[in-house]
Structure 1
Amino acid sequence: MRNYIWFVFALVALSFASCQDEEESVKQSAANSFGKSSAISSLISRVSQFETTCDNVLDNTSNFSVKLPVHVTVNSQYCYVNSSALYPTVQSYKDNYAGDDVVHFQFPITLVYPDHQEVLVNSETEYNAILAAMGDDSNYHEIDCINFQYPFTINKYNTNNQLAGSVTVTSDAQLYDFIHDLTATEIVGIVYPLSLKKTNSSSVITVTSNSQLEDAIDNAVFECTTGPMPLEVEEVLTSGTWRVSYCYYTHDETYYYANYNFTFNSNETVKAVKNSTVIYGDWDVHDEYGYQRLDLHFDGSTLEDLESNWRVLEVSSTFVRLKSESSSSGQYYYLSFTKN
């Protein structure tokens, strides 16, 4: 990765202090400060957002969730869904039908969005209009395998007006809004230690730094998700073309790889095309220390900064999220591919 030195961020984050008045002062370690576009911001948002994927059997979208209880008719079969335990029943109605699956709601229903906001929908016409206005599902779905333990405090510093302050966070909704509402000129830092708990365990995880928090969340995703085997990762990557949808090291570098289209060939070669520029490299997927790894090589080219032994964090048919650690600085950097 390019060794950027972000002077402005470093100087501000080291002091992280306000001149709003002589008595107010908020101190924060540079290593534990972050901005809106950082990888940790995305992870925090995904842990704190409302779960919108678990009910896709009903609404077929992760852009929102349908608040229970709800009355539905699935291929002419009625079902009163008053808990998530009934989702398999709805799925069975779908599986036993030879034609196109059709789920009709008895209106009104309430939709809940990732930001925890609720919207009352009074008719099927209104519901279909909302669906039509939605874009494709985001690849960054909720992470429901781990939860924050509240309350905890976050410090905030605005580099534009040099104002500092802090907020005590007491809920997922408040935390999601806080991260969502950050601006490009704001730097924040969690006051550690911070506690989290996995949904499948009663044990509490205590973290004392950003890197530990990132590890805790990423490990929870790995442990709670039934991910594909290496061969399936290869099958995903060799299907269609891909683009870099996120790249972060010290700051957001996604723009650097804009308009490159990557083709991963089954012979473990890769071709990146941007306008008239064509760059060749190679790749392979393997297991290492219990994790799936993706090696990328673009020796001597403008893409050689993508070279790393990437740990595969998440894989779907249209999305691959990767993570690596700098051996010199110990910092994490992230890379995501999205299918075109």
Structure 2
Amino acid sequence: MKTQIKRSLFLLSLAFTIILSSCRSEDDLSIDPPLDANIEANSTIALLMKRVAANDGSRDNVIDGASNLSVQLPVTVTVNGVVINVTNSDDYEDILDAFDISEDDSDEVIISYPITVIFPDYSTIEVNSDSELSALTDNDNDNDIECIDFDYPITASFFNETSDTVSTIIINNDNQMYGFIEDLDELAAVSINFPITVALADGSVETINTIQELEAIIEAVDGTCDEDDNNDFNDCNANTYTTTYFEDSMLACGDWTIDKLKRNNNNLVDIYEAYVFTFNADGTLLVTENANEFNGTWEATGAAGDVDVTINVVGLPDFNDTWNLCKINLQPVEKQVELKIGTDRLRFGSYCSDSTDADLEDILEDGAWIVASYSDDGIDETSDYDGYEINFSDDGTVFATNGIDTNNGTWSVFANDGKMRLDFGTEMPFQEFNDNGWDVITVSNTEVTIHNVSGGNNSNTDILTLQKL
């Protein structure tokens, strides 16, 4: 077993996520920010946030049986003679499918060593055998909170004693949040920039405006959901979903696509990649695939926590059945609804935002905008766009000018997945924004925030906030 690699200090990478603002003293900052935004090291809220952000070791218990650590992917396992290359969390279900090949097999997961495991604090260690893995397993020491998740990015401000400035940190994921909380004692006069949003285990999303509200909601939901810390891998988790909640969830988005479809151990998702499902309030269902249309019906029945969904579409027998409602996840960016029958799975996904595509288009077309902030994989590049005004036209063109230089391009919002496309050609500096995959995070009449994730393991994250003049 190799020596444990400790989590890199958050402060070492802070330079890549800081936006410097006006020069002020620590005394000024301690007066200006409201007390309902301040956070201190070892405070109750700091410890709660740390538990929320901790690495969740239970989601891969089907591999390691350990809730206090997770196996770094990719990893290769053998189950009942079937070799499975696990490259992402969706592949965990391939292991479950292999369990069901026969009633007489052992359902043993044989891990191909060496592997790397990740602890709650994101430190890692190389493991070379089952005995080494067993020695690290401590299911009584699983203290993370899984019933609530932060919606990133989140920003925080602190007094930078080196430069005598107020600095803003952009936090993009749980790993960075954990490091930020760990290093609070090395930062001065820290505050969270509210509002933020959090996602609850039932799929709902809450807007949080103060530290006190955040502390209250974390304490309220802690331990109220099934955190999957047991080894009941084929369960669908206890839930309290009602037919009304399911219906409202499906009607909230006009277009749903197929994220997952497994029938009789066959993965069929690629067959239906171009199919779009529209659930109507009158119980009818329209499925389109390019120029083809399929008509059907949908109905939800049953009591809270045991909802059945009957789907019947003429010409699409792979979907026609009575499914049990398994999970609803209504994140601000991506929505997911999962159904199951035994080992069969059907998961719908949608990228509809809280505002419609038409709303976003109307908002952007109404007036001039500036780049309020732009973070390129954690590096603040906002100053590159100082002095530029951006104008979006209803003919799909966009131009940005500072009175001397003008960048011309095109833009659109895709109706099928809610993503925004920007293309400024090769003109600098706006060619940095060229992408077909900007996810819309927040929309208001005066501010729009989008982000784009690229690279292996979602390694590169760009965040762009536009502010109306």
TM-score bin, normalised by smaller chain = 0.3 to 0.5
Q: TM-score, normalised by structure 2?
A: 0.35
Task: Work out which structure has the larger RCO, using CA pairs closer than 8 Å and 6 or more positions apart in sequence.
Answer: 1
The TM-score normalised by the length of structure 1 is 0.46
Rg larger in 1 or in 2?
2
